[in-house]
Amino acid sequence: MASDTPKVVAAACDGACSGNPGPGGWGCLLRFSDGSVREFGGAEANTTNNRMELTAALTLLEQLAVLPRDPSLSIRTDSKYLIDGFSKWINGWKRKGWRTASGSPVLNRDLWEALDAARVQGLPLTYVKGHSGDPDNDRCDAIAVAFSKGQIPKLAQGEYGGLMVSESAAPAPVDLAPQGLQQLLSRLELADRLAQGGYGLSLLELAQLVEMPLKTLEAREGPWQWRDWEVTPAGDGRWQLRREASGSGQVQAEERQDG
């Protein structure tokens, strides 16, 4: 049934470039109400950081045009260039024949025109500070940076993505930990950073970290245990992690076995 189709509950994108101009990469992801995730990314040999930011956003808009979405969904990005251009400047550029206020041609016009054509009504862009501990922004950045370095990241297509495990053209060392274990380690390291910094997490961000469905977390009220951390309500619908001194926390019964 259509009502059973998972909705997109989170979307994020990022771009990276080495040299600017130089080798570039982009990455983006979609998270669904059933806990699954789809990731996308690519590379260009000679480009700019701004073009990679726009390319990532365009990919999301094209995907979201045909997917069911949560009414509160927005595309999260750390690019003010993307947000201001898409939300403010583009109408003026079009009126002036794709010229800026100073009369010079608008850079990246091809991508701006494609973005404008792919615009999804009622879907805003939201700014998130880069490298601030936001899990989805960090993930998209990792994908983009890997592509810009000529690596081939493993992209999630349904299952949880976790920390990207990238591969270059050379054979990977045989003693690497399994991908699932590396993904788990990245989440545990992130949990430690969040606990040490005293950061508050929204319910959606918490669901992404502990890999539990939103509906499961919505039913929780008081403190509860996730692995070696106590998860406590911090007010305003946010949650905080506190590391247990003993490190002997137990995995909740509804958590997936692989962490």
Residue 69 burial (C-beta neighbours within 10 Å; 0-12, 13-18, 19+) = middle
Q: Where are the alpha helices (DSSP H) in the chain?
A: 49-64, 80-84, 90-95, 109-117, 135-148, 179-197, 203-210, 214-218
Q: How does strand 152-153 pair with strand 75-77?
A: unpaired
Based on the residue annotation, tell me whether 42 is a catalytic residue of this protein. Answer: no
Q: How does strand 157-158 pair with strand 37-47?
A: antiparallel
- Write down the catalytic residue from 44, 53, 205, 211: 53
- Write down the catalytic residue from 44, 78, 134, 211: 78
Distances (CA, A) of 88 to 9, 85, 93, 258: 25, 6, 10, 45
- Write down the catalytic residue from 131, 175, 235, 236: 131
Based on the residue annotation, tell me whether 53 is a catalytic residue of this protein. Answer: yes
- Write down the catalytic residue from 44, 141, 211, 228: 141
Q: Determine contact, residues 11/29, Cβ cutoff 8 Å.
A: yes
Based on the residue annotation, tell me whether 131 is a catalytic residue of this protein. Answer: yes
Based on the residue annotation, tell me whether 15 is a catalytic residue of this protein. Answer: yes
CB-based burial, 154-185: b 16+ in 10 Å, e otherwise: bebeeebbbbbbbeeeeeeeeeeeeeeeebbe
Question: Checking phi first, is residue 44 left (phi over 0); if not, alpha (psi -120 to 50) or beta?
Answer: beta
Based on the residue annotation, tell me whether 14 is a catalytic residue of this protein. Answer: yes
| CA neighbor of 42 nearest in space, from 151, 137, 170 | 151
Q: Return the SS3 of 137.
A: helix
CA-based radius of gyration for the chain: 20
Token pair, residue 185, equals 């380690």
Q: Determine contact, residues 259/211, Cβ cutoff 8 Å.
A: yes
Based on the residue annotation, tell me whether 78 is a catalytic residue of this protein. Answer: yes
| Catalytic residue set | 14-15, 53, 78, 131, 141
